[in-house]
Amino acid sequence: MSKKSKAEQKPNSKFAEAMSWIIPIVVGVLVALLLRQFVVTFARVDGPSMEPNLVNNERMIVWRQAKVKHLSVIVFDAHGVDPEATKPNTDYVKRVIGMPGDTVSSRNGNIYVNGKKINQNFINKYQRTTGTGNWDLKSLSKSWSRHTNSVKVPKGEYFALGDHRSVSNDGRYWGFIPKKKVLGVAKTFFWETNKTKRNNVNNLAY
């Protein structure tokens, strides 16, 4: 049997060499896409509604599989939730106050969940009282396009507020956030903020 010439061996050698670096790149891109779709993505704060704990243009990591709890800071697609969000993939950042089945009300700057006053040490007294108002879900929901006359947060939905109550466009004005709209739970990068603000975003959920 005759041996293959060097000229015959060269194309195969070049193909193998090309595939040796193409395959790792393709695999890396696929892994990155899967991680972004199912595990983690990134977001940026747009506006002052989460001040003082998150500021305009601050970057965040968003954990898609993290469990949403009371006081979790979440990122969600507001299209179909807020009537003013007319374009798909309009992401909002808010803090979850009410979980499914909860009652939520506000009196004199205090927020009550199931009749119990929640700890709002993540904002100061001025921020708690200015722009918060006195209300409950039933009084708020009279002006919503969905879930009018609600007494409790419906199954599979959340009620959320911005930390900067006086300027935040949040659940008080458009209602509940369906679970399917939530992209994930937001966490701050340690180099983007100070320890107190980082704790107020990352560690208060219960």
- Residue 171 phi/psi, 5-degree rounding, is -60, -20
Q: What does the pLDDT read at residue 4?
A: 47
Residue from 3, 4, 14, 49 carrying the catalytic annotation: 49
What pTM value is reported for the model? Answer: 0.82
Cα dihedral: 32, 33, 38, 42 (round 10)? 70
35 band by pLDDT with thresholds 50, 70 and 90 = low
32 band by pLDDT with thresholds 50, 70 and 90 = low
- CATH for 41-202? 2.10.109.10
All structural domains of the chain with their residue ranges = 1-38, 41-202
Q: What does the pLDDT read at residue 181?
A: 97
Q: What does the pLDDT read at residue 130?
A: 87
Told to judge if 49 belongs to the known catalytic residues of this protein, a careful annotator would answer yes
Residue from 10, 67, 94, 141 carrying the catalytic annotation: 94
Dist CA 137 CA 114 (whole Å):
11
Reported in sequence order, the residue ranges of the chain that DSSP labels E, i.e. its strands, are 40-44, 59-63, 73-77, 91-98, 104-107, 110-113, 116-117, 135-136, 157-161, 177-178, 182-188
Told to judge if 150 belongs to the known catalytic residues of this protein, a careful annotator would answer no
* Mean per-residue pLDDT, 158-176: 96
